[in-house]
Structure 1
Amino acid sequence: MSAALISGIQQVGVGVQNVPDAWKWYRKVLGFDVPVFDEKAEAPLMTPYTGGEVHKRHAVLALNMAGGGGLEIWSFTSRKSQPANFKVEIGDLGINAIRFKTPDVHKAHAWIKGNSGQAVGPVVALPEGEGFWGTDPYGNIFQITTDKTWFQNTGKPVGGVAGVVVGVSDIDQSVVFYESLLQPLEVVYDETGVFADIPSAFPGQRFRRMLLRKNFTPEGAFSRLLGDVQIELIQALDRTPKNIFENRFWGDCGYIHLCFDTLDMNALKTKLQSQGYPFTVDSEQSFGMEAAAGRFAYLEDPDGTLIELVETHKVPLLKKIGWFMDLQKRKSQKPLPDWMLKTMGFGRVKD
């Protein structure tokens, strides 16, 4: 068995009201144009988070082949996906923002500013490097920063998911959870104060923020595509934060989960349960999503933010000719060859 139990961020779930419209924006502006699956079906195992009822949904898992995690763009079809009834602020409990990677912050800023159709913040100094904040047309906050791990040069100004910003109520409690999940992690910075870069409706608000990084290791079939993991924990110190999904369902509008590519689900489950972090959902066997399949599970961080774990069993490399990779037959956790991963890009959707 590999020493690593998680190889990287597989995807972040984005709840929207119209999947085709949202995916078009994410394709054209952020480069998520390679679908792994595009499926309409029921979500029977998620009833603990959907009011005890089975609901239907439409989901697309899309990749940016420059490297980084993907996006699972998700909408209810049996009900209308509900937005929060308040404006989500940095520091509220849950996934506040996605961090997308870029090789050149200034080129990415010019591209997003000229093509997103939304307000974009300026390029600013961060506790590490430079970056900028923006919003998508659905009110979701994102951040674009530099990153040193890339899969290939696609010529696009923005790459895939490098990480997330997670609002927490107690950083000291939360960091124990994320270290248990993602060992080994390094603390890149841990700072407290008023930060000029953070977009906020509360001027002068103090935060504590901590960036955790899991450096790339060549373990896992998709590790070279996924790269590093960056998780910034952020705690609002001058106000009581709101729970982003309070009185709403998983799958409603916003960032619904953070999903990790898992290499040994049984070992990870045993480890996390022994440390007091039980699975709340577990498919226990392979679960199909159109042409892909895998075992999936969920657990919660100390503030209830949903963490998804997926042990991939089958993935399409060239869907058009029916070429799939059965990962359960592999005898090692070595990365797939680059040329094989790049064939996924042949299924790119062009606008």
Structure 2
Amino acid sequence: MPLLNHVGITVSNLERSIAFYTSLGLGAPPADWIFTIQGHWLSQLVQEEDAVIRVAFLPIDDGSVLELLEYQQPEGEKANTRPNRDVGAMHLALNVDNIDEAYQRLSAAGVPFNSEPQTVAMGPWAGNRVAYLSDPDGTPVELVMNVV
């Protein structure tokens, strides 16, 4: 069994985020993997009174899941305004076969990147190619092309 079960990202618009992440190569969720959760158990779990969350599970190729969560109650707000340096911020890294093609295709579609793909200069990933982009809510996503 893989160690990673899922990664959850809170989003402001579930349909927009599903479209974005499927354009990055994650599989489209089966119809029954998009649903609404609520109830006392959920409110206790997330420590929000009367919580109602729309959820989508997007399959990742190793059996893990990207969980997108749109809070309908309570309504959320963007608090992580500096995701590349705020403590507790996260990013999602996805492998791609051809980072230059992905960069060209996504840039042409209006996806904002921090820069063109870069070659890692040091450490255990030296020689690999990477690029950072932002999802529709500003969450950083790293594309990784393993060269070494």
Distance in 1 (CA, whole Å) between partners of 2:104 and 2:117 is: 15
Name 1:205's counterpart in structure 2: 51
Name 1:265's counterpart in structure 2: 99
Amino acid at match of 1:211: F
Instruction: For 1:113-132, list aligned pairs within 5 A.
Output: none
The more displaced of 183-192 and 257-266 is 183-192
Distance in 2 (CA, whole Å) between partners of 1:245 and 1:289 is: 29
Q: Is residue 2:131 matched to residue 1:297?
A: yes
TM-score w.r.t. the length of structure 2 is 0.82
Structure number with higher strand proportion: 1
Distance in 2 (CA, whole Å) between partners of 1:250 and 1:278 is: 15
Name 1:287's counterpart in structure 2: 120
Correspondent of 1:241 among 66, 76, 83: 76
SS in 2 for 1:276: coil
Correspondent of 2:144 among 310, 314, 325: 310
Distance in 1 (CA, whole Å) between partners of 2:110 and 2:83 is: 24
Distance in 1 (CA, whole Å) between partners of 2:141 and 2:9 is: 11
RMSD over aligned Cα, in angstroms?
A: 2.2
Displacement over 3 Å in runs of 4+: none
Name 1:228's counterpart in structure 2: 63
The 1:261/1:244 distance shift into structure 2, 3 A limit, reads farther
SS in 2 for 1:254: coil
Instruction: For 1:301-340, list aligned pairs within 5 A.
Output: 301-314=135-148
Gaps (5+ residues) in structure 2? none
Gaps (5+ residues) in structure 1? 1-102, 104-149, 151-158, 217-226, 315-351
- CA deviation map 1:272-331 (0-9, x unaligned): 1233213223344x22232422111111111111101111222xxxxxxxxxxxxxxxxx
The 1:236/1:260 distance shift into structure 2, 3 A limit, reads same
Distance in 2 (CA, whole Å) between partners of 1:253 and 1:261 is: 25
Aligned residue pairs, count: 144
SS in 2 for 1:175: helix
Amino acid at match of 2:75: T
Asked if the contact 1:269–1:278 (Cα under 8 Å) also holds between the matched residues in 2, the reply is no
Amino acid at match of 2:142: E
Name 2:85's counterpart in structure 1: 251
